[in-house]
Amino acid sequence: MTFPSREAIRTIAAVRTDQIVITTMTAVFEWDAVVGADPLHLPVIGAMGKASSVALGLALAQPRRQVLCLDGDGSLLMNLGSLVTIAGAAPPNLVHFVFENRVYNITGGQPLPAAGKVDFALMARAAGYPLARTFTHQAQLEQGLPELLSTPGPVFACLQVEPAGPQPKLPQGRMRRHFAALQRLLAEQP
């Protein structure tokens, strides 16, 4: 069973307070569509597979602020080592969501290798994440979010979602502008 990725984004956005949100690939567009302009949103563009690494860096640099990473399954497959690195660093303020849609959505919908056979939550647990869950429908995510957001991390949540369909081209230069704005904002806040 799967559910729409936009509904997963709405569910997360509805409970979000002041967390920094890192998105990549389809989640960039979905977050923008649901939330709009957001100074605490950093879209990771042009660095497929690196959203979790950027989120780790921010979680370590901002230990008093929770960081939500909205990653893709294709992106995570390109940087599986980040699971071990994150678990080893053990940032208590990092929640790592992986949107498992089983395709490389942004590049044309090509199927992922071993799509449907990979258990991302099991991989995260094996890497050392203290909490890792899989969610197959929105109501389940709604019920599980309080635990995900209140458990010391790193926390991992695999969201089995439907492919979002064709997306516009990722805008070049956007990540640099958002990173500079986020850096200024965080420098101003304790």
**Residue 90 CA to its chain's centroid (Å):** 17
* Beta carbons of 71 and 96 less than 8 angstroms apart: yes
Q: What is the pLDDT of residues 106-131, one digit of tens each?
A: 666 666 677 778 899 999 999 999 99
Is residue 145's pLDDT more than 80?
yes
Domain that holds residue 135: 3-188
Can you tell me the mean pLDDT for 126-152? 97
DSSP-based three-state secondary structure for 22: strand
pLDDT for res 110 = 67
1-28 confidence digits (pLDDT tens):
788 989 999 999 999 999 999 999 888 8
pLDDT digits (tens, 9 = 90+) for 59-77: 999 999 999 999 999 889 8
DSSP secondary structure code for residue 160 in this structure: E
> Which CA distances in Å does 157 have to 24, 62, 86, 187?
16, 21, 14, 29
Would you state the pLDDT for residue 31? 92
Q: How confident is the model over 136-154, as a mean pLDDT?
A: 96
Is pLDDT of 168 > 60? no
Radius of gyration for the alpha carbons in the chain, expressed in angstroms and rounded: 15
Q: Please give the pLDDT value at position 112.
A: 65
CATH of the domain at 116: 3.40.50.970
* pTM of the predicted protein model: 0.87
Find the angle CA(26)-CA(29)-CA(31) to the nearest 5 degrees. Answer: 105
| Total domains, the chain | 1
pLDDT digit string (tens) for 27-54? 888 899 899 889 999 999 877 789 999 9
Residues 155-179 have a mean pLDDT of: 74
Give the max Cα distance, the chain.
45
